[in-house]
Amino acid sequence: DGLPPFVNESMLDLTIPANRTGFVNAIADVRGKAGGVIPLFIGGKDVTTDDTIASTNPAKPAEVIARVCQGGKPEVDAAIEAAQKAFPAWRDTSPADRAMFLHRAADIARRRMFELSAWQVLEVGKQWDQAFHDVGEGIDFLDYYAHEMLRLGAPRRMGRAPGELNHLFYQPKGIAAVIAPWNFPFAIAIGMAAAAIVTGNPVIFKPSSIASRIGYNLTEIFREAGLPEGVFNYVPGRSSVMGDYLVEHPQVSMICFTGSMEVGLRIQEKAAVVQPGQMQCKRVIAEMGGKNAIIIDDDADLDEAVLQVLNSAFGFQGQKCSACSRVIVLDPIYDRFVERLVKAAQAIKIGPSEDPANYMGPVADASLQKNILEYVKVAEQEGKVLVKRTDIPAEGCYVPLTIVEGIKPHHRIAQEEIFGPVLAVMRAGSFDEALAIANGTRFALTGGVFSRSPENLAKARRDFRVGNLYLNRGSTGAMVERQPFGGFKMSGVGSKTGGPDYLLQFMDPRCVTENT
């Protein structure tokens, strides 16, 4: 099919000196470019507006990373007009040609790997290795969806009845609004956009205001890849001004959203109301939050479990939808596990993510910091604090790494997504009780179990009802193709990203029967 076989991008290896200098140089280089005005990109052209938002470095709030022009209703209208114009030709471009654009985009991103990672270090406070992995995942999405489109692009003969010829094939749905979060600011944004584009749908991309400069990386990449005008449009804007307008627009055929449950539910509600002039039912794909648990069985390997729980709970400051926010520990092993967990958490190095020696950095923005600090107070009221790291930099969006015990299933800390480095320790009398606690929230995204008992692992396979379950492994770090990612219940609607069903959601199936 002309594409090299799909292989996941590799992780960052900092034992290689070129990688260390590559990163240091890229951060300096990006810092040199920071602070500029970033335009919108509509119909293949830069568009500036008078209204801008300054995106800042959460470790040093005085450092402006970019001043991003904000689109309003007129810009949404212009982008939709450009997308409509582009649609017929893009729809009729062959799947193989569309896939080639993704392949080209992946090559461009690969060439810019360090630089793309450096933007994340500075704009959202992501650690080097995590930023590198995010960009790698974005490249994986581009390559994987290119292959997937080739697989799905050919009409499929159905049935073998004599005298008739049946063909099943797919057409794009129309204009896709792609609404992205800030936490995997490259991977998730480019993954959603790439899926829409390769299936033949022009995109209106709205990044999060916390990561709009990183969002502009998509514009740079698709522009260099030579995507036809109007197929990819970059429209950052205040969600209070243009969010509902974009979702409700009668010409938008689908909304591909990743973010919080609250916003996801609002989008589903708005998209369900038919607007004057609207010609089709809108499809909403909404990947939403999590309240993920890891169960520690009484025979668990604690060397592994402690390390992986810390990674899952505090990696990127707990700001992952897959992050572990509840650890459910069986009674017989409770004291031993908690003692080691606490010691290890106290040893974590906290400081700017720019310095790779720091394991935990600032949270991405001051409003998030405020929200997490509120939850730390709730944790102190509901449970007993085991760790509260107040030895954190005074300047920047830092919050204390917090671990509390004594949390019961009905507590807010056991039920609400905090999206920060706050971990609840819960005690269970049996493996069955641990499973019941784990399943006892509105969410069903990821989960983990550490156990040496084949019987309990089998039970978890069957009864731990989450989208992505990891046995003897932490709950974060899904890889494209290997672990198709996504949940159900209030964790979202839609099929798994990086998996074989994902692209089908961006298309309508047609069947043509010929009487021969």
Q: Which of the following is catalytic: 115, 287, 354, 405?
A: 287
Asked if residue 259 binds ligand NAD (CB under 6 A), the reply is yes
Asked if residue 316 binds ligand NAD (CB under 6 A), the reply is no
Asked if residue 188 binds ligand NAD (CB under 6 A), the reply is yes
Question: What b/e string do you get for 203-215 counting C-beta neighbours within 10 Å, with b at 16 or more?
Answer: bbbbbbbbbbbbb
**Binding ligand NAD by CB under 6 A: which of 105, 142, 321, 460?**
321
Letters for 204-223 (x = contact with ligand NAD by CB under 6 A, - = none) are --x-x---------------
Name the residue nearer to ligand NAD (CB basis): 23 or 119.
119
Name the residue nearer to ligand NAD (CB basis): 99 or 424.
424
**Binding ligand NAD by CB under 6 A: which of 138, 174, 290, 383?**
290
Classified as helix, coil or strand, 228 is coil
Shortest Å, Cβ 285 to ligand NAD: 10
End-to-end CA distance of the chain: 31
Stretch that binds ligand NAD, among 133-141, 252-260, 402-410, 429-437 (CB under 6 A): 252-260
**Binding ligand NAD by CB under 6 A: which of 181, 361, 362, 477?**
181
Size of the residue set binding ligand NAD (CB under 6 A): 30
Residues facing residue 28 across a β-bridge: none
Classified as helix, coil or strand, 120 is helix
Q: Are the beta carbons of 396 and 352 closer than 8 angstroms?
A: yes
Distance, C-alpha 165 to centroid of its chain: 42
Q: Angle at CA 457, nearest 5°, toward 451 and 462?
A: 150
Beta strands in 163-267 (DSSP E): 164-172, 175-179, 203-206, 232-234, 252-258
**Binding ligand NAD by CB under 6 A: which of 202, 492, 494, 499?**
492
* Amino acid at position 43, single letter: G
Name the residue nearer to ligand NAD (CB basis): 57 or 183.
183
Name the residue nearer to ligand NAD (CB basis): 153 or 191.
191
- Taking the C-alpha atoms of residue 445 and residue 489, their distance in angstroms, rounded to an integer, is 8
Asked if residue 183 binds ligand NAD (CB under 6 A), the reply is yes
Asked if residue 263 binds ligand NAD (CB under 6 A), the reply is yes
Name the nearest CA neighbour of 386 among 437, 344, 351: 344
* Amino acid at position 115, single letter: E
**Binding ligand NAD by CB under 6 A: which of 1, 92, 244, 331?**
244
Classified as helix, coil or strand, 402 is strand
Asked if residue 80 binds ligand NAD (CB under 6 A), the reply is no
**Binding ligand NAD by CB under 6 A: which of 289, 383, 420, 498?**
289
The token pair that represents 374 in the structure block: 């509120």
**Binding ligand NAD by CB under 6 A: which of 56, 233, 258, 353?**
258
The token pair that represents 184 in the structure block: 């995997």
Torsion of CA 418, 424, 430, 432, to 10 degrees: 0
Name the nearest CA neighbour of 222 among 209, 211, 210, 231: 231
Name the residue nearer to ligand NAD (CB basis): 100 or 490.
490
- Taking the C-alpha atoms of residue 504 and residue 142, their distance in angstroms, rounded to an integer, is 16
Beta strands in 94-251 (DSSP E): 156-157, 164-172, 175-179, 203-206, 232-234
Q: What would the 3-class secondary structure string for 50-77 be?
A: CCEEEEEECCEEEEEEEEEECCCHHHHH
Active site residue 248: no
Active site residue 287: yes
Asked if residue 477 binds ligand NAD (CB under 6 A), the reply is no
Stretch that binds ligand NAD, among 17-25, 97-105, 174-182, 379-387 (CB under 6 A): 174-182
Angle between helical axes of 113-124 and 212-224 (0-180°, round to 10): 160
**Binding ligand NAD by CB under 6 A: which of 179, 203, 401, 466?**
179
The token pair that represents 392 in the structure block: 């954190």
Letters for 128-167 (x = contact with ligand NAD by CB under 6 A, - = none) are ----------------------------------------
The token pair that represents 480 in the structure block: 């494209």
Name the residue nearer to ligand NAD (CB basis): 76 or 118.
76
Stretch that binds ligand NAD, among 2-10, 12-20, 71-79, 260-268 (CB under 6 A): 260-268
Contact set with ligand NAD (CB under 6 A): 179-184, 188, 206, 208, 239, 243-244, 247, 258-260, 263, 266-267, 287-290, 321, 417, 419, 445, 486, 491-492
Catalytic residues: 287, 321
